Structure 1
Amino acid sequence: MNKILVAYFSASGTTKNTAKRLASAANADLFEIKPAVAYTPSDLDWTNKKSRSSVEMNNPDSRPEIAETVSNMEEYDTVFIGFPIWWYVAPTIINTFLESYDFSGKTLIPFATSGGSGMGKTADVLKRLCKDANWKPGRILNHVSDAEIANWLNVVI
């Protein structure tokens, strides 16, 4: 039996909505990757170079602390990892999440929401963090129907 987890970070609620729909379609458990210190609207102002999100994304070593952990990660065979695209990659809190567990032999599948850009080099960056995982191609899940989610699941699972 393939036990599935949908883990996601959502800054505005868009990725959260998509993650809930994906978890329902995949009959998966759901886990929200919450920062230990919540982001405020001013933290998320990408036009301000001094905003928290801008500072984090400009520092490749940034690893924002996560509020909670998945206590039973060893039980999951497949983990979908969802996030909004920030600066053409995943937010650095996703790096924190990936470096917090041993994903060796597990299937990892990224998915994202975006205001206009694609996945960019996201997969390349994430794969370097978990080299012993079985990475499947990710995709942007903006404005997709439940049928499109189901079709994608049939391809990646």
Structure 2
Amino acid sequence: MSNVLVAYFSASGVTKGIAEKIANENGYDIFEIVPEEIYTPEDLDWTDKNSRSTIEMNDKEFRPPIAESCDVSGYDIVAIGFPVWWYTAPTIINTFIESVDLSGKTIKAFCTSGGSGIDKCVSDLANTYPELNFAKGMRFMGDVSKAKGWIEDE
């Protein structure tokens, strides 16, 4: 079996719950991507054009600073989880990807979302980082029973 790291960003706790379930049920290591400045409910108000998350998502070059990164060298597969923001991955995911060396690794993105799927998120990331190996992503709504098969199948 290959070594798997579950790295995730969670603004409200939903993605954290899914990531912990995936890691705990399958014996994977886990790493939380924590912003240097935690997002408040006001920051996450997508209806406010001046909210922090709206400003960040409207600037594709913006990289919110993260509190710390991690060493991914011992892993073959890195599963990266996040909530879908504006139909794609939050820019903090770019910060994480750019802070670690993912070359030669299989990257499996997973998301939590009430309505948006994962496909646009994965294609956006693959277009931004064409040198990396992004596999098919998956959206989770609470049930993670398919996670092990999805993560470990080529």
Q: TM-score, normalised by structure 1?
A: 0.90
Task: Tell me the equivalent position of 2:48.
Answer: 48
Identity fraction in percent: 49
Distance 1:103 1:151 in 2: 21
Distance 1:143 1:69 in 2: 27
SS at 1:43 equivalent:
coil
Q: Evaluate the alpha carbon distance shift between residue 150 and residue 3 of structure 1 in structure 2; reply closer, same or farther with a 3 A threshold.
A: closer
Distance 1:88 1:59 in 2: 14
SS at 2:145 equivalent:
helix
For structure 1, the residue ranges without an aligned partner over 5 or more in a row are none
Q: Evaluate the alpha carbon distance shift between residue 151 and residue 105 of structure 1 in structure 2; reply closer, same or farther with a 3 A threshold.
A: closer
Deviation at 1:154, TM superposition (A): 5.0
Task: Tell me the equivalent position of 1:118.
Answer: 117
Q: TM-score, normalised by structure 2?
A: 0.92
Is the contact between residue 4 and residue 26 of structure 1 (CA under 8 Å) also seen in structure 2? no
Distance 2:122 2:21 in 1: 22
Quote the RMSD (CA, aligned, Å): 1.6
SS at 2:99 equivalent:
coil
Distance 2:35 2:140 in 1: 22
SS at 2:153 equivalent:
helix
Q: 2:150 aligns with which of 149, 152, 157?
A: 152
Distance 2:151 2:100 in 1: 24
Deviation at 1:135, TM superposition (A): 1.8
Deviation at 1:120, TM superposition (A): 4.8
Q: One-letter code of the match for 2:74?
A: E
Is the contact between residue 69 and residue 100 of structure 2 (CA under 8 Å) also seen in structure 1? no
* Count of equivalent residues: 154
For structure 2, the residue ranges without an aligned partner over 5 or more in a row are none
Distance 1:57 1:84 in 2: 13
Distance 1:18 1:114 in 2: 11
